[in-house]
Structure 1
Amino acid sequence: MTALHDPPVAPSRAARELGLRRSEFDIAVYLGRIRTVRDEGGGGRRVARSEIERIRAQEGFPQALRDSARTVGTTEGAALMGVTKDRFTRLARLGLLVPVNFYLNRYRAVVWMYLAEEIERFAADVANAPLLKGRTPEGLRDQLKEGLDLRARNWRGRYLGFLLGQAEDPWARAAAVASLLDPVEVSEVVRDPYERSHLGRFRPASPSHGSPGSPAAQIAEEIMTAAEPDETARLRRELARELDTAREQRPAPRPAPRPRDHLAVPRSAQRTREHGRVPHPAAAREPGPAPYSARRPAAATSGPAPERPRPKEPRRPRGLLSRLRRRGS
């Protein structure tokens, strides 16, 4: 029997020991049914041995855990409810069915995934019977005609709950809220650059959807960023509250203040103080460069003034031209 005090294991190993596929394991963690701990070495989240033993001891393991993490798309979800795919999509757009995950297919179309047990629970509720058969109520039809689609917004709300549940630090909670806002919105709420930098250290890793900068990654980023004004305003208020709590518990680190230049002691004074002598105030100042006039050589004060050299006489022309000029004179 494995000791409960063994070190935590990686998610891949925990999934194998719990009899889950990795996608099922991730959903179970997302839903809080498998608790994870932070890796002290900075390698992400891990699962404690005691948590694995706790789950194994639950009734119905492993099938009950696997069923709770089962997800379905639109086609399979509509079959579970006994409705058409169009009706299922309308119910999801109205926010009556909340996605638990999404991915992009090879055509870069968003495929929403839902918990199978939530779909079955919705279909079994007699209060929802009018929504499963007959015409959609008029008020709901009008909202759909106006383009209402709450799937992405409801997923963001669910995802934020997961991030807050994983956060173990007040700055991590604030960073979780900030991760769903546009960077411009974050900078307007967090005006201090040192706080923004500190907040970025706790920013949770985004779900991987394509390589960075790819069209798929850009679509996923749009889904993860609040777009509606009321949702943005709500997240901004929540970010401000989380930020106030983080400041009270532990302010963001700042660089140490630099000494003021006019208080610096001259080097000559420092050297003199090291030898135990107190310099005269005038001597404490280091001599600066001599003025230009001081660098000129001093003029002699006695003796005869030096004679200036006489200009040389012009040379007389030589050759035939000079002899002709002398004869003519």
Structure 2
Amino acid sequence: MSGDTITTPQQPSCAPTRAARELGLKRSDLDLAVHLGLIRTVPDEGGGGRRVLRSEIERVRSGAGFPGSLLERVEVVGTTQGARLMDVPAGRFTRLARLGLVVPVKWYLNRYRAVVWLYLVEELKRFAADEKNTPLLNGRRMPEGLRGMLDAGVDLRPRNWRGRHRGFLLRQTDDPWQSAGALAAFLDPVQIAEIVPDPYERSHLIRFRPGPPVSGVPGSPAAHIAERIMTADDPDEISLLRADLTAVLEEARDRRPAPRPTASRAPVPAHPLHIGSPPPDEPEQPRGLMSWLRRRNPRATTP
């Protein structure tokens, strides 16, 4: 058996990379399928992370139209391909995305450090096929209310992606601390410090706080862009996240309080001449030269 496949007392499982190979997927496709709830994973008790049960691989393989049906459900496109798919100009597609009418599922930074949003092909086809959306696709101008939002600079792509990614993270949590960490991932450190003033509790929470799915060298421009996209900036969004995090933290504290250092007893001095108080189980000895001589020679007497 391969080294990345293990058998637990319950069920055999394998690492995501091995699971992707066996399902004929790229690793990024497998990750997206997991995020979309198409493939279930379990915690890796040995080394952290997630694993895929062998029974889950067999379930996916037995699905109708496998592997083509699975590949279709995780297929993504950028703006240009998405516009072509929906038979609209790229500019109109971008406006629809900015208004939140089509929601990105992934993003990456190109070589110019520009954000490239990716959309599920399945969702774009569904949007284009809905007759209610025909005026948005074929109308000469956007409805007045939507035009006003665009003129005001509205761009809901980052917020909508965060909402979607938050759902992905929460589906993979197994206890309230992990859920709290998933929520904290979208708040900046100042917000977290206000909600969790206790430093030990905050440190424990940060252990479960995932970073952006796309990152770079810490402190690099790419890392700053990733943090900006990951961090909520709309007041309503921040308010909802703070309320959800506060509620989940209460449950986490009740179930398993955050660890904190225990008070340790100060060591007892090993030598009677140690500077400070004498050991508690020894009475304090009289001080002075004659007292010292008596302790050295019990038969010594004063003149």
Q: TM-score per shorter chain, which class?
A: 0.7 to 0.9
Q: 1:15 — aligned with what?
A: 20
User: Which structure 2 segments of 5+ residues have no match?
Assistant: 268-276, 290-303
1:140 is matched with which residue: 146, 157, 177? 146
Partner of 1:98: 103
Structure 1 residue 88 and structure 2 residue 99: aligned? no
The answer as to 2:186 corresponding to 1:187 is: no
Maintained 8 Å contact 1:160/1:176: yes
CA offset at residue 266 of structure 1?
4.3
What SS does structure 1 have at the residue aligned with 2:66?
coil
2:127 counterpart of 1:128: no
2:222 corresponds, among 203, 207, 216, to 216
Q: TM-score, normalised by structure 1?
A: 0.79
Matched, 1:119 2:140: no
Structure 1: gaps of 5 or more residues: 272-283, 291-329
Any conservation in 1 of the 2:108–2:214 contact (CA below 8 Å)? no
CA contact (8 A) 2:187 2:231 kept: yes
Q: CA deviation at 1:27?
A: 1.0
8 Å contact from structure 1 (residues 94, 140) kept in 2: yes
Q: Give the Cα–Cα distance (whole angstroms) in 2 for the partners of residues 288 and 102 of structure 1.
A: 77
TM-score, scaled relative to structure 2: 0.85
Report the structure number with the largest CA radius of gyration: 1
Alpha-carbon distance change, 249 to 80 in structure 1, aligned in 2, over 3 angstroms: same
CA distance in 2, matches of 1:289, 1:93: 87
More moved, 66-75 vs 42-51: 42-51
Distance 2:197 2:112 in 1: 40
- Whether the 8 Å contact between 2:177 and 2:249 is mirrored in structure 1 is yes
- In the alignment, the residues of structure 1 paired with residue 58 and residue 287 of structure 2 have an alpha-carbon distance, to the nearest angstrom, of 79
Picking from 165, 175, 181, the partner of 1:159 is 165
Question: Structure 1 108/6 Cα, relative in aligned 2: closer, same or farther at 3 Å?
Answer: same
Kept in 2: contact 1:104–1:209 (CA 8 A): no
Aligned to 1:29: 34
> What are the superposed Cα offsets for residues 235-272 of structure 1, whole Å, 9 maximum, x if unpaired?
111110110111111111122234599xxx942x526x
Counterpart in the other structure of 1:245: 251
* CA displacement at 1:288 relative to structure 2: 5.2
Cα RMSD (Å):
2.2
Other-structure match for 2:297: none
Q: Does the 8 Å CA contact 2:106/2:161 hold for their aligned counterparts?
A: yes
Deviation per residue, 1:108-132 (Å, 9 max, x gap): 1100000000000000011111111
Matched AA of 2:157: R
Q: Flag the 1:130–1:251 CA change in 2: closer, same or farther, 3 A.
A: same
Offset from partner CA, 1:189-248 (integer Å, 9 cap, x none) = 011111101111212243133222211111011000001111111111111011011111
Q: Does structure 1 residue 270 correspond to structure 2 residue 290?
A: no
Q: State the percentage of identical aligned residues.
A: 61
Counterpart-to-counterpart distance in 2, 1:153 and 1:127: 24
Report if aligned partners of 2:75, 2:120 keep a CA contact under 8 Å in 1. Answer: yes
CA distance in 1, matches of 2:214, 2:46: 22
Preserved CA contact (<8 Å) 2:185 2:211: no
Q: Does 1:285 align with 2:284?
A: yes
Aligned residue in 2 for 1:72:
77
